[in-house]
Chains A and B, each alone.
Chain A
């Protein structure tokens, strides 16, 4: 009995020792693992944030999913009694009674709705569905969808002609503008826009239509971005002018003054050609409005809304009161609505000499002469709508699932309307808020979203490390899960490392994210950022004959003259499914003289057609150029024997590649 007791004690002690050893070793291993994953940033040894909260699908994915609404854009009924709110994540149009301050109806629309406009009498609403490539036509009184109209890819901004016959739709993914005849219910034409057209606006006289383009037009390598305002003649329904705004970018929205003498466009001014380390000097990114005169001369200028020591990042929407006196701009990265005096800008604009006018675009002091007020809002303010009488301004506080109501006389939020979202902020939601907030960069100069609008990429090449070395073409953040490592040189083994303290040292020049914030940011990026449906893929999922021929070339093992292609020189070796990356580094012969001697991580290829320009420094304007110009020695796969027909087929296949359809699962 005594022996048994002794044995029991010994066994227990040994078990405890083993347990402690295992625990100790495990903890040490886990610590090392966490240290490796975060790149040395202090972080608790906690498995849940990284291994559970980032799951898109499965039990964890479903359990953690919160059904947020994310109001994006708003329209107000002619009588002011109702608001129509786009719930971007709710795939719905919310009808809000302004007096009762509550949602009275929810109308299901297509995938990822973007904008809403109303017919003049307020009876019909038109909603663009960015991921469905359609416009929903809704009879508002009985809240019934009466038609669904096909348009181009990624419909976003909408504008209805004065007679209510023609609807103009900005197709943000196919880079064009659909003109719909609402009487026949058909698209009558598509006009070439700039890059990522996002908003459309008829001039007050109905004769002209302005279209803003989010991304700058393709420009020669290492030159400043030039963004386009596409001008359409509403009579001929043809593009008659392309107003270029130099060094401008992210032209989100446009508004005309009530008299129609000026048009205002929200914009950003990135300084991507200078070292990003210059952020500490306070002008890496600036934000403001472009002003375009509506006369024969068509003079244009840019006015900043920033202040010398404070940026107001990511301006989104802009409206002007019916009396034409005040303009309101949502600054989505700063959580403010900025109010400026239209007449003050008009005076500056009209009285300046051309030389002076050119300096305004970089004058951070100037805003004190026209900015009247900064109204703090909830997180990520986006769409605006002003009531017909001009007394109320409605602001979509996207990440609060809320509408703020601003009294335009006192210029303060007087009430809010809760749209009925989950209420609590999940980790992923917190990550989304951090992603869209500029509060973590020096003087609030930019958010993650500034260079990765909508989680994607801004199409620019940045000088990140200074002195013109190691130029980096911004990469998409969509569908990153399973595609590590990150950065062009593959030095970041995880998103934790990518977004952690290295990032803050190089780019944000502030303290790095806390471990909780980093967890949230990573969870958001891995879970919530997805490519839209691939527009080159048949609905059935089957490849076209050209895509099938291209697939055979992508997977070929022999050249056209029968020579065997070594495994390392085959396309599908470095770009195998499901993510079309082998997550390894290769020398593809594109190292520039100014690059450090590195090899490059094989990038994923899903929805690659959205990611021009290509290669690590953006030197290839198109997919074709990767092989026709920048693969002279066949280091980027053996391809120089391909005929043009074969190359075209291969490009057809490449643009059809898509990642796992996680967005469908959710």
Chain B
């Protein structure tokens, strides 16, 4: 009989108790004024030491490249007071010098230090914007909303919905540009628009191994398209061969991950990101990494993952960023960095972990706007983060970054 690894094992319970104790400690500690001289000085005295990495960490076995892990310790938050149409930001997308933010009350554009807002009156398909992508070829901005898909092209909004086009459903959770194709993940499947021919193709449970209709996220790169299907795992589409493949949770258990690293940790997937040949999958029950031949699973009890409830993942090079309901993570295959806002305070903490072991904890006077993090994107050395209470812009003001061998 195979050994099972329940998610809520005794070890997990102990970890939970420790975390609870820690939390109580933090609550007490939090009663002290956080933004003190002590922390201002801390901002200036950020450690630049390198962190020892356990050589035999089996979950990092496939990685042999050096990956820098910048620490974003200086943050600025934007809210409605700065010009955002709403504090609830579902997504953020960098577009050269510009930054697009999708909120529940319109589309915002940050350009030359100012926020501009686009609403339904301007041509936006719906006030709630869930995902944004920019075509690297044309520069057109594709906007997924709760009421259809928009193309914003040099100020002109083109609207595609289930009534006027081949878009399968108006609730568009995700959008991704891949060459001349635009992929839209919707509540009824996936639509592909060939922008050269104007032709739409629909993929759903009828003609693709999707198992469930709710496509929550799509990531497309290098002829590979990955779709997170809520309740249906991940489906892969090779645009060269036009072939599908599905990835499911092998144990099919809703409550536990029966066998570690055997595949998807759960079929309830929320986000996918494909970068450098590595597929990252965010589920509501943990994180997955897949290199084409092997899977790894990560949970909050056995790694530095802030929470198993993952809203969004996005990889940049070998580093993946994980947006959870309890903060923001970055992870390079070995080292975890967690950004966490301290409740009722403008400051926050940064935890650096190896596996589940926190090796450093630092407090800062600025941090992400809220721990419910929904989106992230990168603008050079600057990080943009969409949260439930505003958009945060982070920069690395440390003298050096963590180096992983």
Tell me the A residues contacting B by CB distance below 8 Å.
152, 174, 176, 189-192, 217, 228, 230-231, 236, 238-242, 535-536, 546, 621-622, 624-625, 628-629, 643-645, 648, 651-652
- Interface contact A242-B155, CB-CB below 8 Å: yes
- Interface contact A189-B138, CB-CB below 8 Å: yes
- Interface contact A628-B164, CB-CB below 8 Å: yes
Which listed residue, B140, B162, B165, B168, touches A192 by the CB 8 Å rule?
Answer: B140
- Interface contact B196-A239, CB-CB below 8 Å: no
CA gap between A48 and B155 in the complex, in Å:
56
Q: Does B61 contact A (CB under 8 A)?
A: no
- Interface contact B139-A238, CB-CB below 8 Å: yes
List of A residues within 8 angstroms of B162 by Cβ: 628, 644
CA gap between A217 and B151 in the complex, in Å:
14
- Interface contact B196-A176, CB-CB below 8 Å: yes
List of A residues within 8 angstroms of B197 by Cβ: 174, 535-536
- Interface contact B195-A192, CB-CB below 8 Å: yes
List of B residues within 8 angstroms of A621 by Cβ: 164
A-side binding surface: helix, strand, loop or mixed? Answer: mixed
List of A residues within 8 angstroms of B155 by Cβ: 241-242
Tell me the B residues contacting A by CB distance below 8 Å.
137-140, 151, 153-156, 158, 162-166, 168-169, 180, 188, 195-202, 204, 206-207
List of A residues within 8 angstroms of B151 by Cβ: 192
B75 to A: closest C-beta gap in Å: 31
List of A residues within 8 angstroms of B200 by Cβ: 648
- Interface contact A240-B154, CB-CB below 8 Å: yes
List of A residues within 8 angstroms of B207 by Cβ: 645
CA gap between A385 and B165 in the complex, in Å:
42
A537 to B: closest C-beta gap in Å: 12
CA gap between A191 and B139 in the complex, in Å:
9
CA gap between A141 and B156 in the complex, in Å:
44
B-side binding surface: helix, strand, loop or mixed? Answer: loop
- Interface contact B163-A624, CB-CB below 8 Å: yes
A648 with B166: in contact, given A174-B197, A241-B154, A242-B153 (CB under 8 Å)?
yes
Contacts A625-B164, A628-B163 aside, 17 further interface pairs with beta carbons under 8 A come to A192-B140, A238-B138, A238-B154, A239-B154, A240-B154, A241-B154, A241-B155, A242-B154, A242-B155, A536-B197, A536-B199, A622-B165, A624-B163, A643-B206, A644-B188, A645-B207, A652-B199
A645 with B164: in contact, given A152-B196, A192-B138, A236-B139 (CB under 8 Å)?
no
List of B residues within 8 angstroms of A231 by Cβ: 154
List of A residues within 8 angstroms of B158 by Cβ: 192
Closest to B204 in A: A645
List of A residues within 8 angstroms of B140 by Cβ: 192, 239
| 7 A-B pairs whose Cβ atoms sit less than 8 Å apart in the complex | A217-B156, A236-B139, A241-B154, A242-B154, A643-B206, A645-B168, A645-B206
- Interface contact B168-A242, CB-CB below 8 Å: no
Closest to A193 in B: B153
- Interface contact B195-A644, CB-CB below 8 Å: no
- Interface contact A189-B137, CB-CB below 8 Å: yes
- Among A189, A240, A629, the one with the most B-chain Cβ atoms within 10 Å of its Cβ is A189
List of A residues within 8 angstroms of B163 by Cβ: 624-625, 628-629
List of B residues within 8 angstroms of A192 by Cβ: 138, 140, 151, 153, 158, 195
Which listed residue, B154, B180, B199, B206, touches A190 by the CB 8 Å rule?
Answer: B180
CA gap between A629 and B156 in the complex, in Å:
24
Closest to B203 in A: A645
Closest to B158 in A: A192
List of B residues within 8 angstroms of A535 by Cβ: 197
List of A residues within 8 angstroms of B202 by Cβ: 644-645, 648
CA gap between A628 and B137 in the complex, in Å:
32
List of B residues within 8 angstroms of A622 by Cβ: 164-165
CA gap between A536 and B198 in the complex, in Å:
10
- Among B140, B154, B162, B195, the one with the most A-chain Cβ atoms within 10 Å of its Cβ is B154
List of B residues within 8 angstroms of A152 by Cβ: 196
List of B residues within 8 angstroms of A546 by Cβ: 201
- Interface contact B138-A191, CB-CB below 8 Å: yes
Closest to B156 in A: A242
CA gap between A504 and B201 in the complex, in Å:
47
A104 to B: closest C-beta gap in Å: 39
List of B residues within 8 angstroms of A624 by Cβ: 163-166
CA gap between A286 and B162 in the complex, in Å:
38
List of A residues within 8 angstroms of B180 by Cβ: 190
CA gap between A624 and B161 in the complex, in Å:
10
List of B residues within 8 angstroms of A629 by Cβ: 163
List of B residues within 8 angstroms of A238 by Cβ: 138-139, 154
Closest to A643 in B: B206
List of B residues within 8 angstroms of A651 by Cβ: 166
List of B residues within 8 angstroms of A628 by Cβ: 162-164
A442 to B: closest C-beta gap in Å: 36
Top-6 shortest CB links A-B: A238-B139, A628-B163, A239-B154, A648-B166, A622-B164, A242-B156
- Among A535, A622, A624, A652, the one with the most B-chain Cβ atoms within 10 Å of its Cβ is A624
- Interface contact B164-A239, CB-CB below 8 Å: no
List of B residues within 8 angstroms of A644 by Cβ: 162, 166, 168-169, 188, 202
